[in-house]
Structure 1
């Protein structure tokens, strides 16, 4: 979509968007308007006959019921109560990274981050927002391909920050969002506090060497890790 306009007709009855507004229109809760139903594309995510995981359940009532059963475990209160348990797992991860850093061996951070994460109808027009195109669209972000974390800090009149929705939006937003942020903040803070890290393979192109199937298939992130002197 980098070479096209904000909306692309990918097949005769399917439109793909890359705008901030499309997140709200398609995935958001709109008073007095019905919620968009997921397309039959998500039927491919079923793991058993006539049984769907929460991510691919298309029936709104069933999805709401499934989410209600799981919501308590992912609430802010529950996550605060579980933070000590999560921290123990992260500390073991930090320790394992450090041990391999001392031995000078290269570390596959992709594998280790995966281990950490898992430890812890035909005439209708189908619409969706393409997360990658929205997050890297020049109409939404100034120099979108440039690593510029400061764009998320303070006042920013150059970027449409709402165009980036990695956890989706609305009643189907990722239930594990709070857990993901907690895990990410604690892990990165502890990792960078204790170690200096060097990227081994600088030729890895993270925008082209990845694939999205049911889960994100990513290349190895090989690092050299050294305990910080200070």
Structure 2
């Protein structure tokens, strides 16, 4: 039974990445090492973010149950570095916009999956007692993949020199939502005391809304050119 649960968690977490890589056409372009380079850029950006947070944002020492709104907002602002990292990855890859976006997103999301969820799933999901949090973690990894694809698409659109003026505001709003999505989720959890499954559902809905808006703008921009 333990191996069965581990197999389910592994399949839910990793197969969507494999399917996305194969079906997006990246395998036809031999983009594996491009994705690896994008993942290495992710690691470098996260290291810089951790050093910056450790230097300028000490541990919150307020009372128990008190939410440090300003501090958490400033920490979330540091995630702007992810936008710069994605832009750097895409600027170093030649090709169509779709190719640049998928290489950056796949490398970024896969690196996050390996660094933040691989070990907990490997150790925890193989435990004697089954825990639903590992299924939730697997679903969350899929949401992150969609999130990074949308974020890369928005960054690509924002950095285009021929972006129409009518697109500037919605693209900027989507960029802000991508950066502060985790902060908004933490705020919702603190205010409404959401359960783990409810948090996952809200995150999926919010990510889906951002992704659909990004897809609409991307398709409109590409077809207008």
Q: Same fold (TM over 0.5)?
A: no
Compute the TM-score of the two structures, normalised by the length of structure 1: 0.29
Q: Which has the greater radius of gyration? A: 1
Compute the TM-score of the two structures, normalised by the length of structure 2: 0.30
